[in-house]
Amino acid sequence: LPEVQHLEMAYKFYLYCPPGDDFSRLFGPNAADRLDRKWQHMLDVQLPLSQTELGRAALPQDVGRVTPRACLQGWLFYPLATGSTAPIAGVSPAHWRGWWCRSDDWRSHGAPWTELAGAWSLLPRRAWIAPAAVDDPQAMLSPDACRTRIDAHFAASSQAQLVAGLQRASDG
């Protein structure tokens, strides 16, 4: 094999916390997880592995050149309170985006988020990557029912929870 691609891939979720427009203002579900740190780790630690003696030893002997590449995809969530979706240097303008809010904003009746979708659903972690497709009417919640479910979730867990705003598909 004359050439092999070493592809480091990650799919992440980050909250944008202004001010600033760089990767250090993007935080993961674990507050110690920041996009600037993840990107640097991919570049400085993960990508060079294929160039090390140990990395080369894991490949067939007939492999010539190994070209490392990084692919980092996911969702960026912007604060609902500011309405900001300002461009962030190095991020594709076509990236997937959502919004986040603090618990006080979430709980208040008449909050702006209640007008953003026809129904709401709490998604299990395995369903976070793709756009939500919910067929079960029991999973389609009103804003009040959604508040109740999210409050119950955080009463029992500190794990991040993705809530999807749902609109009926054009085919029904």
Average pLDDT, the chain: 87
**What pTM did the predictor assign?**
0.81
**Among candidate residues 102, 101, 103, 74, the one with its CA nearest the CA of residue 88:** 74
Q: Strand 26-27's sheet: what is its strand order?
A: 26-27, 3-16, 65-79, 96-100
Which pLDDT score, from 0 to 100, does residue 110 have? 61
Which pLDDT score, from 0 to 100, does residue 172 have? 59
> What number is the average pLDDT over the span 83-106?
81
User: Which residues 6+ apart lie within 8 Å of 67 measured at CB?
Assistant: 3, 4, 5, 6
Q: Which of 101-110, 149-158, 161-170 is predicted with the least confidence, judged by mean pLDDT?
A: 101-110
Q: Each residue of 51-80: pLDDT tens digit? A: 999 999 999 989 989 999 999 999 999 988
Q: Would you tell me how many other CB atoms lie within 10 Å of the CB of residue 146? A: 22
Please, are residues 74 and 14 in contact by the beta-carbon 8 Å criterion?
yes
Q: Each residue of 119-164: pLDDT tens digit? A: 999 998 888 888 888 888 888 999 889 989 988 998 998 888 889 9
Q: Which tokens is 77 given?
A: 């969530």
> Could you give the CA distance from residue 123 to residue 58 in angstroms, rounded to a whole number?
38
Q: Each residue of 23-49: pLDDT tens digit? A: 999 999 877 899 999 999 999 999 999
Owner of token pair 């990395």: 55
Is the pLDDT at 169 greater than 80? The verdict is no
Which pLDDT score, from 0 to 100, does residue 134 have? 85
> Could you give the CA distance from residue 76 to residue 113 in angstroms, rounded to a whole number?
17
> Could you give the CA distance from residue 172 to residue 153 in angstroms, rounded to a whole number?
30
